[in-house]
């Protein structure tokens, strides 16, 4: 029997998963990590770098560049309005 996680809708090809490009306004970030913790696809991680306020801001994790589904949940949970997504230019409709 197939596991639930392996199930695919029969018409999955007709509805491709949206892709998003992540943008971070580094100087607004206060390093709370909400966006990192709540991203359903584990796209984000804390950067090594710090902004002028001394906070580690989020970056797209290595190897996750194509994983953002443009769900915009990171934008919703960010208390500083410091992160947002948009369609990648190459796939924009």
Of the candidates 5, 11, 58, 66, which one interacts with ligand SF4 according to CB under 6 A?
A: 58
Provide the 3-class DSSP secondary structure of residue 49: strand
User: Least separation, in Å, of the C-beta of 83 and ligand SF4?
Assistant: 4
Give the separation between CA 72 and CA 52, rounded to whole angstroms: 26
Of the candidates 30, 45, 61, 88, which one interacts with ligand SF4 according to CB under 6 A?
A: 30
Residue 19 in contact with ligand SF4, rule: CB under 6 A: no
C-beta atoms surrounding 30 within 10 Å: 15
Cα angle, residue 67 at apex, residues 28 and 12 outer, rounded to 5°: 135
Of the candidates 1, 43, 61, 93, which one interacts with ligand SF4 according to CB under 6 A?
A: 43
Give the separation between CA 41 and CA 26, rounded to whole angstroms: 21
Cβ distance 44 to 63 under 8 Å?
A: no
Residue 72 in contact with ligand SF4, rule: CB under 6 A: yes
Q: Site residues (CB under 6 A) for ligand SF4?
A: 20, 22, 24, 29-35, 39, 41, 43-44, 57-58, 68-74, 77-78, 80, 82-83, 85
């Amino acid at each position: 029997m197939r596991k639930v996680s392996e199930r695919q809708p029969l018409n999955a090809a007709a509805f491709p998963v949206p892709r998003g490009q992540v943008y971070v306004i580094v100087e607004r970030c206060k390093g709370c990590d909400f966006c990192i913790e709540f991203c359903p696809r584990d796209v984000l991680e804390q950067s090594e770098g710090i902004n002028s306020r001394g906070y580690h801001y989020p970056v797209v994790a290595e190897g996750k560049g194509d994983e953002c589904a443009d769900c915009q949940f990171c934008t919703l949970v960010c208390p500083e309005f410091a992160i947002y997504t948009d369609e990648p230019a190459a796939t924009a409709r």
